[in-house]
Amino acid sequence: MKKVYASKIDTWLTLVIVSIVIACFIVFISVASSGNIVAILVSAPALIFGAGLPLWLMKSTVYTLSDETLLVKSGPFKWQVPVNQIKSVTPTSNPLSSPALSLDRLRIEYGRWGSIMISPKDKEAFIQDLEARSGKALRNTEGSR
């Protein structure tokens, strides 16, 4: 049976995304009030991308765990990690880009060289579920940076 885990969202990231969205709308309204059709047509895609993508990422970042795969979705991006290839799960606060909306993350090592960082809201339940599905202990408590 599949289980969906929502991403934890840091307050600071929410504030950044809301600020970006507000700034995009202010710029678009300013351009639209000028009445210049060309400027409006150029700024409309910028509004859609600049405001839409961050909101899409914030609303759609989830981790779906089935018996066979961990499916990570974040906006238009998607990763599939075979559960039987997962080697370890390590807590981290690494700020590198990843499908995680919090710096309270888990680094999942899989396959030969693969890794992905995620931030499930309930990390403990996620790890327990993952270990139960993989049939092996995966926790690495050393932490990575």
Q: How large a percentage of the chain has pLDDT more than 70?
A: 97
The pLDDT score that the predictor gives to residue 36 is 86
Contact criterion met (CB below 8 Å) for 97 and 58: no
pLDDT at 144 over 90: no
The pLDDT score that the predictor gives to residue 35 is 84
* DSSP code, position 78: E
Nearest 5°: phi and psi at 44? -60, -50
pLDDT at 29 over 80: yes
Span 30-48, mean pLDDT?
88
The pLDDT score that the predictor gives to residue 23 is 93
pTM > 0.85: yes
The pLDDT score that the predictor gives to residue 34 is 86
What band does 135 get if pLDDT is binned at 50, 70 and 90?
confident
pLDDT at 145 over 60: no
At 103, list the tokens. 């710096």
Contact criterion met (CB below 8 Å) for 109 and 14: no
Contact criterion met (CB below 8 Å) for 102 and 9: yes
pLDDT at 46 over 90: no
Q: Is the domain covering 63-134 a CATH 1.10.357 domain? A: no
Q: Higher model confidence: residue 144 or residue 43?
A: 43
In the predicted model, what is the mean pLDDT of the chain?
92
Tens of pLDDT along 109-133? Answer: 999 999 999 999 999 999 999 999 9
